[in-house]
Amino acid sequence: MLKTILITNGRFPATLDLIRSFADEGHKVIVAETNNFHYCYSSKATYKNITIPSPRDNEKGYIETILQIIETEKVDFFLPAWEDVLVVSKHLNKFPDDVAFTSDYKLVHALHNKWEFAHLIESLGFHSPKTILVKSKEELQSVPFENFYVKCNYSRGSEGAIFIRDKKRVAKNVKKYPVIVQEKLEGEQYCTYTVCHKGKITAHATYPLHYQKYNANKTRGNYCLSFEEVHHQKIYTFVKEFAEKTGYTGSLAFDIFEEGEQITILECNPRLTSGITLLTPHKELAAAFFNELETPLFPKEGEQRQFLMPSIFFASKTAIKNGSFFPFLKTLFKSKDIIFRKNDIKPFFFQPVIGIYNIYLKLKYRKSMISSYSHDLDYEEEEKETL
């Protein structure tokens, strides 16, 4: 049965990839965004673009507008695709049953908040890095780690995280407390993306990250720029057990380290991530979101996707610096671009416009390009501490 789907965060390239997958199956996709400078705006996969209030600046207006769209457009399935998922979960009782794809606020917030998440993982019997809530400069200088990370409770994509070797030096750079301190982990890092329905997994992808340094013996690309599916049974078992124990519904994405036989759960994003792009080539993906599959959907082993233009302009510099340019080229020519599509070409050529708009946002919010791009969709229970 064909459905009407409402999705937010049209500025995210992975959202474009997902709505194309939905549209290919005949579903009607409505994109709700706070502006018209986004990838989905010019896509053929978008049935209708609707401008909405910012969930960060106008929570009440955002919820009222989304509910009105659901009623007017007879929406069957609503996917909040960024941190507006926390706002939706907070008002979940206002939505029609089984329309909003998320869980209750207490659980979603515990996944998003780094301090709460570390405690949740330990309480469920899993392993997390040693984590300390630091409330002052004096506490920061006395943490029991030689090498560690300082993070904000609410952050995303490693933005604002600082790796520390000198406690005295970093204390001068932390302007507001509290902050989270976590021990530095070693080993191979992986990310996951999973679709869950009341504790049951309907789709799952796992991919390794090599964002600190390219590994010359591997062809995988840089953080958030290219992705390669690996079947990792131990990680999948963890995700399956976590979903079952929490009864979670929604998008679920973990950052995980593996060292020897030990896997350590670093962070979680209870929202859509780029890992979805490993699942979009498969026709059953829509059914996975609608909870219509009897068995979970997995990408093919070795499935590869990439953000072509960012890889060329940014990842190439990292590859040259780390002496692994040829493995980078292998990934570049082997992986399929997420944005380019012959029968939906406009989003690819719309990238310069989005880039210019992002510069405007950077000047407006006086933040980094990454932070400013998602600013009005980010969830901040309190203004994020400046590092």
Q: For the chain, which residues make up each domain, given as ranges?
A: 1-101+350-387, 130-183, 188-341
Give me the torsion for CA of 38, 40, 41, 43, rounded to 10°: 140
CB contact set of 329 (below 8 Å; sequence gap of 6+):
none
Quick one: pLDDT at residue 171? 62
Quick one: pLDDT at residue 324? 65
Q: What is the DSSP letter of 295?
A: S
CB contact set of 352 (below 8 Å; sequence gap of 6+):
none
CA separation for the pair 69, 77 (Å, rounded): 12
Encode the chain (387 residues) as per-residue pLDDT tens digits.
899 999 999 999 999 999 999 999 999 999 999 999 999 999 999 999 999 999 999 999 999 999 999 999 999 999 999 999 999 999 999 999 999 999 999 999 999 999 999 999 999 999 999 999 988 888 888 888 877 888 888 877 666 677 777 666 666 667 778 888 998 888 899 999 999 999 999 999 999 875 334 343 433 334 456 778 889 999 999 999 999 999 999 999 999 999 999 999 999 999 999 999 999 999 999 999 999 999 999 999 888 777 666 666 556 666 666 666 666 666 666 677 889 899 999 999 999 999 999 999 999 999 888 889 999 999 987 543 334
**Measured in Å, how far apart are the chain's first and last C-alpha atoms?**
49
Which class is 1-101+350-387 in CATH? alpha beta
CB contact set of 204 (below 8 Å; sequence gap of 6+):
192, 193, 194, 195, 236, 239, 296, 297, 298
Quick one: pLDDT at residue 28? 98
Return the half-sphere exposure (C-beta side, CA atoms, 13 A cut-off) of residue 250: 32
Which CATH number does 188-341 carry? Answer: 3.30.470.20
Which class is 130-183 in CATH? alpha beta
Instruction: Identify residue 276 by its one-letter amino acid code.
Output: I
Quick one: pLDDT at residue 168? 64
Quick one: pLDDT at residue 333? 62
User: Whole-model pTM?
Assistant: 0.89
Peptide bond connecting 310 to the previous residue in cis, omega within 30 degrees of 0: no
